[in-house]
């Protein structure tokens, strides 16, 4: 009787072990199937982008936002890759080659979504955030609308809406082999936008990451 009880106990323990390992494998598999998102910090290196009245470079603010977006997305379980993680760039100092290199990286890394982060600038009075996407692409439309809704939560500037890249072609969106959007997070030329971009960068990054997550779930 004692041997029988021991045998039954061993069978139970082995069964529990296999169940645990199986559940663990399922969880790991589920996590590994998360989308790969490429975060592109616009400009960089030789190209400073737009410049504020106070000497702030767009490329630096873009990078700060991009890294924070990536960090947040990683915490959600997404696979995150970047076009750049510092001010150094690996492509030639040529605008077209620069933009094509970013598109090529998205394809090389098998990205499911390419998110380019930029800031606007104007010599006239203007502020707000907007997103460029292909209006014929349901996926990027969904992502873009979701991000705008999250940015609206912080009420830091004007929602300028979506712009169709079929009407206003942007290289990294129009020539990308993967779903792509370009976010203009605010106007570096506007004092109010600039203040928020520099001092509440994490809020903007969180809104972008949450918008992506909600649209992909």
pLDDT value of position 90:
87
- One domain for residues 26 and 56: no
- One domain for residues 90 and 3: no
Q: Which of 216, 212, 217, 187 is nearest to 68 (CA)?
A: 212
- One domain for residues 72 and 25: no
Rounded Cα–Cα distance for residues 80 and 89 (Å) = 18
- One domain for residues 99 and 157: yes
User: By residue range, what is the domain housing residue 83?
Assistant: 35-216
Higher-scoring residue by pLDDT: 135, 12 = 135
Pairing of strands 179-187, 129-133: antiparallel
pLDDT value of position 36:
98
Question: pLDDT tens for residues 43-84?
Answer: 999 999 999 999 999 999 999 999 999 999 999 999 999 999
pLDDT value of position 29:
36
- One domain for residues 43 and 8: no
- One domain for residues 29 and 60: no
Q: Which of 73, 52, 77 is nearest to 62 (CA)?
A: 52
- One domain for residues 121 and 185: yes
Question: pLDDT tens for residues 139-172?
Answer: 999 999 999 999 999 999 999 999 999 999 999 9
List all residues 6 or more positions away from 134 whose beta carbon is below 8 Å from its beta carbon. Answer: 140, 141, 164, 165, 166, 173, 174, 180
Kindly tell me if the per-residue pLDDT of 30 is higher than 60: no
- One domain for residues 59 and 15: no
Kindly tell me if the per-residue pLDDT of 2 is higher than 50: no
| CA distances, 134 to each of 21, 104, 152, 167, 213 (Å) | 44, 19, 21, 9, 19
Question: pLDDT tens for residues 179-204?
Answer: 999 999 999 999 999 999 999 999 99
- One domain for residues 2 and 93: no
Total structural domains within the chain: 2
- One domain for residues 99 and 56: yes
- One domain for residues 11 and 106: no
CATH of the domain at 52: 3.40.630.40
- One domain for residues 22 and 68: no
Q: Where are the beta strands (DSSP E) in the chain?
A: 36-41, 79-82, 113-120, 129-133, 159-164, 179-187
């Amino acid at each position: 009787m004692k041997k029988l009880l021991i045998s039954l106990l061993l069978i139970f323990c082995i069964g529990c072990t296999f169940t645990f390992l199986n559940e663990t494998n399922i969880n790991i598999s589920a996590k590994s199937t998360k989308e790969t998102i490429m975060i592109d910090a616009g400009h960089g290196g030789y190209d400073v982008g737009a410049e504020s009245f106070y000497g702030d470079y767009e490329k630096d603010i873009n990078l700060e936002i991009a890294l924070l977006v990536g960090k947040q997305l990683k915490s959600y379980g997404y696979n995150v890759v970047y076009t750049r993680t510092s001010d150094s760039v690996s492509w030639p100092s040529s605008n077209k080659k620069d933009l094509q290199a970013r598109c090529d990286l998205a394809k090389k890394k098998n990205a499911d979504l390419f998110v380019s982060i930029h800031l606007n600038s104007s010599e006239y009075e203007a502020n707000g955030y907007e997103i460029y996407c292909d209006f014929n692409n349901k996926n990027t439309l969904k992502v873009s609308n979701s991000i705008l809704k999250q940015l609206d939560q912080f009420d830091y500037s004007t929602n300028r809406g979506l712009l169709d890249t079929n009407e206003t072609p942007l290289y990294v969106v129009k020539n990308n082999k993967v779903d792509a959007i370009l976010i203009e997070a605010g106007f570096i030329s506007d004092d109010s936008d600039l203040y928020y971009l520099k001092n509440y960068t994490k809020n903007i990054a969180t809104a972008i990451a949450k918008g992506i997550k909600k649209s992909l779930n």
